């Protein structure tokens, strides 16, 4: 399915061949990823658990995003609020509006399930641009504090500022 298409960007469903392309591109930019992450998204999509989308910029894979209509974990687990998960734009394609288009598409999909959408964002500097984007789009923290390893990080407990330290946020959809 195609969710957006203009002269530069096309957003469509994730397909099997995309998994290795995304993995190779992220590895080339210094990220530590395996193809398993994207194969798991494909499996979830095939089982109807999520909608996984990729953005193509002039025919090249440039980014991805996933919507889970009924998340089972996290601050909004089992609440009927769709969750945007694992959103990224490859570094060489940033600052072209691709992230905005992916978020627009994800929020539109989420809006077919509920009037609210949620997401979790990492807290280290690598997530800075995403944090700013979410604030500009009207996402606000849910009030549960930070989470680590899929659990609330209790006050004064130790944690590591890695990809598992996140803040959950949500917004109402128009």
* Contact status, residue 54 vs residue 61, Cβ threshold 8 Å: yes
- DSSP one-letter code for 47: T
The DSSP result for 53-96, as a single string, is: EEEEETTEEEEEEEEESS--SSTTTTTT--EEEEEEE-GGG-SS
Model pLDDT, residue 32: 86
Q: For the domain made up of 2-172, give the CATH fold.
A: Aminopeptidase (3.40.630)
pLDDT, averaged per 10 consecutive residues of the chain (174 residues), comes to 97 97 95 92 97 98 98 93 96 96 98 98 93 96 93 92 95 95
Model pLDDT, residue 151: 93
* Joined tokens for residue 50: 């999520």
């Amino acid at each position: 399915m195609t969710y957006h298409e203009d002269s530069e960007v096309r957003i469509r469903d994730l397909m099997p061949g995309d998994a290795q392309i995304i993995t190779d591109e992220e590895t080339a930019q210094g990220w530590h990823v395996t193809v398993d992450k994207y194969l798991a998204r494909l499996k979830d999509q095939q089982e109807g658990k999520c909608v996984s989308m990729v953005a193509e910029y002039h025919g090249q894979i440039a980014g991805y995003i996933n919507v889970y209509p009924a998340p089972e974990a996290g601050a909004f687990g089992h609440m009927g609020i769709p969750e945007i998960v694992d959103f990224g734009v490859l570094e060489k394609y940033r600052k072209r509006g691709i992230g905005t288009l992916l978020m627009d598409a994800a929020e539109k999909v989420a809006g077919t399930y509920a009037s609210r959408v949620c997401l979790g964002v990492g807290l280290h500097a690598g997530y800075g641009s995403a944090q700013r984007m979410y604030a500009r789009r009207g996402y606000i923290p849910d009030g549960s504090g930070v989470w680590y390893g899929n659990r609330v990080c209790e006050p004064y407990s130790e944690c590591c500022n890695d990809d598992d330290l996140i803040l959950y946020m949500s917004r109402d959809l128009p």
